[in-house]
Amino acid sequence: MSLPKRIIKETERLVNDPAPGISAVPHDDNLRYFDVAITGPEGSPFEGGIFKLELFLPEEYPMSPPKVRFLTKIYHPNIDKLGRICLDILKEKWSPALQIRTVLLSVQALLSSPNPDDPLATDVAKHYKEDEKGAQNVSREWTRQYAS
Protein backbone atom coordinates (compact mmCIF):
# COMPACT_ATOMS: atom_id res chain seq x y z
CA MET A 1 0.00 0.00 0.00
CA SER A 2 1.56 3.27 -1.07
CA LEU A 3 1.47 6.37 1.07
CA PRO A 4 -1.04 9.02 -0.06
CA LYS A 5 0.47 12.27 -1.28
CA ARG A 6 -1.28 14.13 1.49
CA ILE A 7 0.61 12.21 4.18
CA ILE A 8 3.92 12.80 2.41
CA LYS A 9 3.19 16.53 2.17
CA GLU A 10 2.16 16.74 5.81
CA THR A 11 5.24 14.86 6.97
CA GLU A 12 7.54 17.06 4.92
CA ARG A 13 6.08 20.16 6.48
CA LEU A 14 6.08 18.73 10.01
CA VAL A 15 9.74 17.85 9.72
CA ASN A 16 10.97 20.91 7.83
CA ASP A 17 8.76 23.55 9.43
CA PRO A 18 7.68 22.26 12.87
CA ALA A 19 5.15 24.12 15.01
CA PRO A 20 6.70 25.69 18.14
CA GLY A 21 6.98 23.22 20.98
CA ILE A 22 5.90 20.28 18.84
CA SER A 23 7.97 17.64 17.07
CA ALA A 24 6.62 14.70 15.09
CA VAL A 25 8.89 12.20 13.39
CA PRO A 26 7.66 9.20 11.41
CA HIS A 27 9.09 5.73 11.98
CA ASP A 28 11.44 4.52 9.28
CA ASP A 29 9.60 1.24 8.85
CA ASN A 30 6.09 2.65 9.15
CA LEU A 31 5.53 6.14 7.82
CA ARG A 32 2.02 6.21 9.31
CA TYR A 33 3.39 5.92 12.83
CA PHE A 34 4.84 9.06 14.43
CA ASP A 35 6.87 9.68 17.56
CA VAL A 36 5.60 12.97 18.95
CA ALA A 37 7.00 15.25 21.63
CA ILE A 38 5.08 18.24 22.99
CA THR A 39 6.61 20.69 25.44
CA GLY A 40 4.39 21.75 28.31
CA PRO A 41 2.91 25.22 27.62
CA GLU A 42 4.28 28.19 29.53
CA GLY A 43 2.18 29.20 32.51
CA SER A 44 0.54 25.78 32.77
CA PRO A 45 1.31 23.19 35.47
CA PHE A 46 3.00 21.21 32.69
CA GLU A 47 5.59 23.91 31.93
CA GLY A 48 9.10 22.56 31.69
CA GLY A 49 7.99 19.05 30.80
CA ILE A 50 8.47 17.20 27.55
CA PHE A 51 5.57 14.84 26.89
CA LYS A 52 5.94 11.91 24.53
CA LEU A 53 3.00 10.76 22.47
CA GLU A 54 2.36 8.26 19.71
CA LEU A 55 0.30 9.17 16.65
CA PHE A 56 -1.01 6.71 14.11
CA LEU A 57 -2.71 7.50 10.80
CA PRO A 58 -5.27 4.78 10.06
CA GLU A 59 -5.85 3.51 6.55
CA GLU A 60 -8.93 5.77 6.22
CA TYR A 61 -7.03 8.95 7.14
CA PRO A 62 -7.90 11.77 6.40
CA MET A 63 -11.50 10.61 6.35
CA SER A 64 -10.95 9.19 9.86
CA PRO A 65 -9.02 11.04 12.58
CA PRO A 66 -5.48 10.09 13.59
CA LYS A 67 -5.11 8.00 16.74
CA VAL A 68 -3.17 9.87 19.40
CA ARG A 69 -2.09 8.69 22.84
CA PHE A 70 0.15 10.06 25.58
CA LEU A 71 3.07 7.78 26.43
CA THR A 72 4.33 10.00 29.24
CA LYS A 73 2.38 9.79 32.48
CA ILE A 74 0.38 12.99 33.01
CA TYR A 75 -2.03 14.28 35.67
CA HIS A 76 -4.76 15.89 33.57
CA PRO A 77 -8.57 15.61 33.80
CA ASN A 78 -8.96 14.89 30.07
CA ILE A 79 -6.19 12.30 29.78
CA ASP A 80 -6.57 8.90 31.42
CA LYS A 81 -4.09 6.43 32.88
CA LEU A 82 -3.59 4.76 29.52
CA GLY A 83 -2.78 8.07 27.87
CA ARG A 84 -6.05 8.27 25.95
CA ILE A 85 -7.14 11.82 25.21
CA CYS A 86 -10.65 13.25 25.43
CA LEU A 87 -10.69 15.77 22.61
CA ASP A 88 -13.68 16.39 20.33
CA ILE A 89 -11.68 16.78 17.11
CA LEU A 90 -10.19 13.33 17.68
CA LYS A 91 -13.70 11.90 17.70
CA GLU A 92 -17.01 13.31 16.53
CA LYS A 93 -15.67 16.72 15.55
CA TRP A 94 -13.01 15.36 13.21
CA SER A 95 -12.95 16.88 9.74
CA PRO A 96 -10.74 15.75 6.83
CA ALA A 97 -9.62 19.37 6.43
CA LEU A 98 -7.86 19.08 9.79
CA GLN A 99 -4.35 17.66 9.87
CA ILE A 100 -1.64 16.26 12.13
CA ARG A 101 -0.36 19.74 12.88
CA THR A 102 -3.76 21.10 13.95
CA VAL A 103 -4.42 18.02 16.07
CA LEU A 104 -1.14 18.37 17.94
CA LEU A 105 -1.69 22.09 18.44
CA SER A 106 -5.08 21.25 19.95
CA VAL A 107 -3.50 18.71 22.28
CA GLN A 108 -0.99 21.36 23.32
CA ALA A 109 -3.85 23.79 23.94
CA LEU A 110 -5.62 21.16 26.04
CA LEU A 111 -2.62 21.15 28.37
CA SER A 112 -3.06 24.90 28.86
CA SER A 113 -6.78 24.67 29.52
CA PRO A 114 -7.93 21.45 31.19
CA ASN A 115 -11.66 20.91 31.03
CA PRO A 116 -12.83 19.03 34.17
CA ASP A 117 -16.47 19.31 33.06
CA ASP A 118 -15.86 16.80 30.28
CA PRO A 119 -13.55 14.41 32.08
CA LEU A 120 -11.91 11.20 31.05
CA ALA A 121 -9.98 10.65 34.27
CA THR A 122 -12.84 11.17 36.71
CA ASP A 123 -10.73 11.19 39.85
CA VAL A 124 -8.38 13.82 38.46
CA ALA A 125 -11.35 15.88 37.25
CA LYS A 126 -12.93 15.70 40.68
CA HIS A 127 -9.66 16.83 42.23
CA TYR A 128 -9.42 19.72 39.73
CA LYS A 129 -13.00 20.81 40.50
CA GLU A 130 -12.73 20.62 44.27
CA ASP A 131 -9.21 21.91 44.79
CA GLU A 132 -7.73 23.39 41.62
CA LYS A 133 -4.57 24.68 43.31
CA GLY A 134 -3.87 21.32 44.92
CA ALA A 135 -4.55 19.43 41.69
CA GLN A 136 -2.25 21.75 39.75
CA ASN A 137 0.45 21.04 42.29
CA VAL A 138 0.08 17.31 41.65
CA SER A 139 0.26 18.01 37.89
CA ARG A 140 3.44 20.01 38.44
CA GLU A 141 4.90 17.24 40.58
CA TRP A 142 4.08 14.57 37.95
CA THR A 143 5.58 16.78 35.25
CA ARG A 144 8.79 17.07 37.24
CA GLN A 145 8.82 13.37 38.00
CA TYR A 146 7.84 11.82 34.65
CA ALA A 147 8.25 14.46 31.93
CA SER A 148 11.67 15.97 32.54
Partner 1 sequence: MVDLPRNIQDTDPEDFANELLRKVDNSLKCPICKAYFDAAMYSDCGHTFCAVCLRESLSMKQECPICRKPAKELSMKKNIMLEDTLILWQQARDTLLTLERLEAANASKKRKRSASIQSIESDSNEAGPSSRPASTTVKKMKKRAESTQKTGDSTMTECPMCQNLVVEAIINQHIDGGCNPENDKKITRDSQRAKVQWSSVFGKSASAKRKATPISLTVPPRGETEPGTLEKLPRGSYDILKDKDLRRMLKEEGLPTDGETEAMKSRHKQ
Nearer to partner 1, 25 or 134 (CB): 25
Q: Which of 36, 53, 86, 120 is catalytic?
A: 86
Say if residues 29 and 58 touch (Cβ distance below 8 Å).
no
How many other CB atoms are found less than 10 A from the CB of residue 19? 16
- Which C-beta is closer to partner 1: that of 4 or that of 48? 4
Contacts of 117 (CB under 8 A, 6+ apart): 125
Nearer to partner 1, 82 or 97 (CB): 97
List Cα–Cα distances, 105 to 20, 23, 27, 109, 116, in angstroms. 9, 11, 21, 6, 20
Binding footprint of partner 1 on the chain (CB under 8 A): 2-6, 8-12, 15, 25-26, 31, 62-63, 95-97
86 given a catalytic annotation: yes
Inter-axis angle of helices 5-16 and 100-112, to 10 degrees?
A: 50
| CA pair distance 102, 24, nearest whole angstrom | 12
Nearer to partner 1, 95 or 137 (CB): 95
CB of 20 to partner 1, least distance (A): 19
- Residue 56 beta carbon to partner 1: minimum distance, rounded to whole angstroms: 17
* Active-site residue list: 86
